[in-house]
Amino acid sequence: MSNGSYAEVGGTQVYYHDVGEGPALVLLHGSGPGASGWSNFNRNIEELAKSYRVICPDLPGFGKSDMKPVEAPIPGWWAEQILGLLDHLGIEKAHFLGNSMGGMISLKIALEQPHRIDRMILMAPGGGSAVTSIFPSAGIKTLLTFYDGEGPSVERLRGFIDQFVYDPSAITEALVQERFEAAMDPRIVEQPPMRPGPGGMPEELWRDARLTQLPHETLILWGREDRVLPVDTGFTLMKQIPNARFLIMPKCGHWVQWEKADEFNTIVAEFLKQ
């Protein structure tokens, strides 16, 4: 994988990968400790770049990008940053693929500036509301409190990552160490991006009446055994978005793009071609 580039967006340095040619496809990662664009999508970028111009940023507060201001609202501020990055790259409209928090940001962009999105893939996105499951889940609680209490450790991170997948035996020690090193960036330890601040808790997008007016062809993907955002969290979004399809993957957790990489890449490519 080639090295990425930096763009200045509203005074914030945003690190991103720009790979391939064709229609633009923006990949937005989730928000767990040590997350980044490459760590979330390293099994997908090169395959998708065979047909698309893949833009995969580190959301500010993660990876190599600058930090997110403590007072910045979630996900609105991130949505503005991503649109600013597209403006910097001269991209007026793109397909969006968002995982977890990245899915929530994609939804926010669709609500605020629907003309900037072509097709939309939401992979276990935030912004919904659990119908039958107890929420917040243990995984969400760990995500929000990873840097609190006894503080971060490899053991806590390994336990957290195990909750992301159906089969924890697939998690390698190298993956855990890579995520832990990223999570221990002194900037992030001092200012964890998901710690609730003056901006408040993440916006409950499922309450936004504009969902019922979204024009986008939308694919919602979920792992049946997701222990971070349970699959029923997506039912409210599926019911409201007019052109939404809901595909549930068996024997799969929160990382559909990682656990079911080959199938995921094929499904995404076929959906975007339609």
Q: What single string gives the DSSP state of each residue in 189-234?
A: HHS-TTS-BTTBSPP-GGG-GGGGG--S-EEEEEETT-SSS-GGGG
- Contact (CB, 8 A) for 68 and 78: yes
- Contact (CB, 8 A) for 85 and 182: no
Beta partners for residue 14, in sequence order:
7
Does 254 participate in catalysis according to the annotation? yes
Assigned token pair, 80: 């503005």
Distance CA 106, CA 1 (A): 25
- Contact (CB, 8 A) for 271 and 119: yes
- For tokens 């909750």, the residue is 163
240-262 per-residue burial string, b: 16 or more CB within 10 A, e: under 16: bbeebebeebeebbbbbbbbbbe
- Contact (CB, 8 A) for 20 and 89: no
* Active-site annotation holder among 17, 29, 95, 254: 254
Distance CA 227, CA 220 (A): 17
Cα 209 → chain centroid: 23
Active site residues: 254
